[in-house]
Structure 1
Amino acid sequence: MAPDRLRRDILKTGGVLAGGLLLSGAPGTGQGPARADAPTPPPPPFVDLPAGRLRGAVEGGVAVFKGVPYAAPPVGALRWRPAQPHPGWDGTRDATAFGPSAPQLYLEEGDQILGHHGSPPFSEDCLTLNVWTPGADDSKRPVLLWIHGGGFISGSGALPHYSGETFARNGDLVAVTVNYRLGPLGYLYFGEDDAGGNFWLTDQRAALQWVRDNIAAFGGDPDNITVAGHSGGALSAAALAGQSKGRPLFRRAILQSPPLGLRIPTRAESLQRTATYLDIVGAGNVAELRTVPWPRLIGAIPEMFGRTARWGYWPTPFLPVIDGVTLDAHPAELLLSGSGEGIDVLIGWTREEANFAFGLDEGYAAATRDQVVARVRDTFGRQADEAYTAYAEVRPGARPVDVLMDLIGDDLFRMPSLALAERRASRGRPVWAYQFGLPTPAHNGRLAAAHCLELPFVFNNFDKWAPAPFLAGLHPRVRDGLAATMHQSWISFIRTGDPNHHPMPNWQRYDRKTRTTMNLDAVTTAAGDLVGYWRQLRRPAAG
């Protein structure tokens, strides 16, 4: 019997595969028949790698290996240095517990939207990844490498939100999540020509290479990798597309709410940001900064927010840098030429992205029309009044802050994502586009279809998101129906490069004739050109 069919039959009868072994429904242990109320726990799966042996666990019907190091700990002299190879280990390494998350700000009480986006323990020794697989065998399954977002300052591949269990089980995939350096430890730039900057990107590049070198031992196909991410993680996926000068390092990319509208600083601009940070911490140079304990480095982030924030713009105190060493162009450009041009792309956004950052902010709620028009002028120049009126008409009864949020969402996410789709389509390169539009009733509807809201639908694991306040009030039947559709579309794209599946509407590739965009909402429909008016209005923008 073919391995895939065998696996499906086993799963149907309550069995699971891990490490190539039948773990449930197998003969007993010789101690008498297993009691129905006390099933024999499955034996742990093992994997042998060049770095050493791993012992994992079986959870939710799939094998999982947690806290696997993919690079050397970036501590001491390796702080603010590119990721280095891990030396490996002797004996069998326990891989049943997640590794520490990257150091980041943490509030015990959480926030009003996600609750928490990264939880202790935190440590600079954080360069680990996690693997979920239906079986550590030779099935050569498609691979998903998920990169979390978090504004470049928060998040973790160890979050229950991002568990790869559903993708591994429902899609017969190998799913990988990764931790990488965040905030000042990942994004400061010191102008060192040999090291460059973007230490976060060197981490992700090392993780991707680890997957290519090792994933076959977990039942994955190193030649069939999809790199997916959300927000900053989506920008990362695009940046990784340019890390090869020849054959692409992965086959497909899923970009969920990529902030392609970010202006990536030059080396000089990044050095100025680093100088601001050094002043806050009270250090004179990188050598002094290497002696500062990481809690103090993280503690400087709030003041960094204060010194770098601009009214009417999404706050980003730490940013990538075009350093000419690790990154030589804006990530969006890397999917238009060279190795990135041949990668299949699925790209999308939520309808009210910026409500995430501004919808519950009482200071912005008091914004005046004049204030917002002044911000609109940055985008539309002399057409600012016309643009303000057009945005206001889209939302009957719109307040100035509503216009501002729609503008920010368009500037940062929707319009640049569509611009990338347009440019890829003009080159005949595969690209599919979507807009997530299901609003949440939470906070009296003030968030609408905000940034991050599509994530639990993609992973189809609402039980893991239970503490997140922004999901309160969603109708279970509508929620679960849309989640089933989205989750299967993502699986289909990872497996075949095409997000279509029965019974959803036909999802055509984005092209410059139809400009098909899938509306993912209570009723999923394929729409035509969603932003024709805005495209025309923005074209002649001038100061």
Structure 2
Amino acid sequence: MADRPGVAVPLVETTDGRLRGTVEGGLAVFKGVPYAAPPVGDLRWRPARPHPGWTRVREAVEFGPSAPQPFIEGGDPVLGGHGFPPFDDDCLTLNVWTPAVDDARRPVMVWIHGGGFVSGSGSLPYYSGETFARNGDIVVVTLNYRLGPLGYLHPGAEDGEPEAGNLWLTDQVAALRWVYENIARFGGDPDSVTVAGQSGGAMSTAALAGHPEAQGLFHRAILQSAPFGLALPDPTAYAERTRTFLEAVGVGDVESLRQVPWPRLVEAMIVLFGSSARWGYWSTPFLPVIDGATLFRHPAETLLRDGGADIDVMIGWTRDEANFHFALPEGGYESATEHQVLDRVAATFADGAPEVYAAYERTRPGSRPVDVLMDLVSDELFRAPALKFAEGRAAMGRPVWAYQFDFEAPALQGRLGAAHCLELPFVFDNFDSWSRSPFVEGIGPAARQGLARSMHQAWISFVRDGNPNHPALPEWTRYETGGRSTMRFDSVVSATRDLAGHSRLLFSGALGRPSP
């Protein structure tokens, strides 16, 4: 959208130099702002470092490149695309939407995109900060960070230097530091920052809470579909993936890898997809690593115990998370047999597998083996660990609000149900930006507008004061071990007690026996 006549083009002095933004729909917008030095050449696979700055006014009117990632022309059959060109390894930039460049000290929302640690971009129209800035009088920041091999490869120590790992996390810490030091110049309040993320971005949000250098840099956290059920490796366990990747590229060490053009690195990711894939599990070729230097324990434990005492938390999941990955015929799971799924259940519940399988069948009359599998994976990877986290927070007397997104997508013959990612256009209330995404097809205006209004305003309320309640929402009380209040977002929004109790009981050992 072009600058509006009569509205001054915004100019801001940052710690790195002056920025000239643009005006879009009455908002001041700054795009492609560097927050760290370009991680190229010798800085590949090294922690994020300060940007050297610039002397002239820098034009901040175009998004920076997305992190290198796999790209399918035309997009995937669900989202339609989660990363768009251009791509480049010089990708450490952020974007700011603000109602005004002034000293109003508005609440700040920092959005960290997801994408299975291999895809996504803070520059996608899906994640535009326009609606939150305009509707909530909020300053919004989205960011790009290193993905796939550039962000999640764990090369280890080199030539006496400290071990380099979780480069993605060092990027995000650098971005938060930039926000703390500069956001007041954009009309924001550095002492009222909410970090929000979905899927891998929610995992990032939790990890940041315990990072020593991120302490005090944010005050609230929104965790959407956090994959807390992922078992994260230490450097020794992860070393095999690093070796496999080096072999796929055809080099023997990381120093040689630094000379390889990034498109070749993305091509080599396919080998890791194949070598790490297991039947009945969500594919995760790259993972965060518990290295004892940047990440000291699982992010769920980090937020629960290390850095979360003074952070307000909202956490939620979609009812049918795993349908995103397992429901479509292309995945090959429709023909899954009961024997196959029982074996997969046994990997988690050991001898209790038959009883657990039957329990899942009872919750969904007429279910096929693939339905049991999807419910299991949804619970194991997302819902059950989120509930465990909420129970832990409640037991400690720390504030936490829980929700479940139940709205079913009519697209793709209804196979998706309330799948992973489906809540995003409702949270951002920006369905026009998702018009090319197959999974929103068929959602009627009435259902779309009502639910989007409820969710979007709840997120705004939480960002503003740490409480998601607003007049158009049923009373949403904190999650406590007594009532286990959970907001159910559907065509009719309702506050419920222990909405996911079946999952909680299964994975607490009340039925079956989860493996250690």
3-state SS of 2:97 partner:
strand
CA distance in 1, matches of 2:136, 2:500: 33
The match for 1:132 is: 97
In structure 1, distance between residues paired with 2:142 and 2:504: 36
Mapping for residues 65-464 of structure 1, pairs under 5 Å? 65-192=30-157, 194-244=162-212, 247-362=215-330, 363-464=332-433
Q: Is the 8 A contact 2:45 2:164 kept in 1?
A: no
Q: Secondary structure at the match of 1:287?
A: helix
Report deviation, 1:302: 1.6
Name 1:36's counterpart in structure 2: none
Q: Deviations over 1:392-423 (max 9, x none)?
A: 12122111111101100100000000100000
Q: Do the aligned partners of 1:80 and 1:186 also contact (CA within 8 Å) in 2? A: yes
1:461-504, CA deviations, whole angstroms, 9 ceiling, x for partnerless residues? 01111110100001110111000000000000000100000021
Query: Does 1:528 pair with 2:493?
Result: no
Task: Give distance in 1, aligned partners of 2:308 and 2:507.
Answer: 27
Q: Is the 8 A contact 1:358 1:405 kept in 2?
A: yes
Give the alignment of 1:8-47 within 5 angstroms: 40=5, 42-47=7-12
Query: Could you report, residue by residue, the CA deviation over 1:234-282 in whole angstroms, capped at 9, with x for unpaired residues?
Result: 0000000011379532100000000000001111111111011111111
RMSD: 1.3
Aligned partner of 1:471: which letter?
A: V
SS in 2 for 1:424: helix
From 444, 464, 480, the counterpart of 1:475: 444
Distance (Å, rounded) in 1 between the aligned partners of 2:143 and 2:396: 32
Offset of residue 304 of structure 1: 1.1
- Contact 2:173-2:213 at 8 Å conserved across structures: no
In the alignment, the residues of structure 1 paired with residue 502 and residue 315 of structure 2 have an alpha-carbon distance, to the nearest angstrom, of 21
Closer/same/farther in 2, CA of residues 361 and 315 from structure 1, 3 Å limit = farther
TM-score, structure 1 length as denominator?
A: 0.91
Q: Which residue in 2 is equivalent to 1:508?
A: 477
- For normalisation by structure 2, the TM-score amounts to 0.96
* 1:308/1:495 CA distance change after superposition, 3 Å: same
CA contact (8 A) 2:209 2:215 kept: no
The one-letter code matched in structure 1 to 2:298 is: H
**Residue type of the alignment partner of 1:199:** L
Distance 1:264 1:479, change over 3 A: same
For structure 2, list consecutive stretches of 5 or more residues without a partner in the other structure: none
Cα 1:174/1:360, change in 2 over 3 Å: same
Distance 1:172 1:319, change over 3 A: same
Q: Which amino acid aligns with 1:526?
A: A
**CA pair 410-542 structure 1, distance change in 2 beyond 3 A:** closer
Percent of aligned positions that are identical: 62
CA shift at 1:168, angstroms? Answer: 0.5
Deviations 1:156-210 (A, max 9, x none): 0100000001000000000000000000000001221614300000000000000
Distance in 2 (alpha carbons) for counterparts of 1:528 and 1:538: 18
Cα pair 1:241 1:340 within 8 Å, conserved:
yes
How many residue pairs get aligned? The number is: 506
Give, in angstroms, the shift of residue 43 of structure 1.
Answer: 2.9
Which amino acid is the alignment partner of residue 289 of structure 2? V
Q: Offset at 1:301?
A: 1.4
CA distance in 1 between partners of 2:230 and 2:197 (Å): 16
Alpha-carbon offset, residue 285 of structure 1: 0.8
Aligned partners of 1:80 and 1:199 also within 8 Å: yes
Paired residue type of 1:378: A
What secondary structure, in the 3-state scheme, does the structure 2 residue paired with 1:317 have?
coil
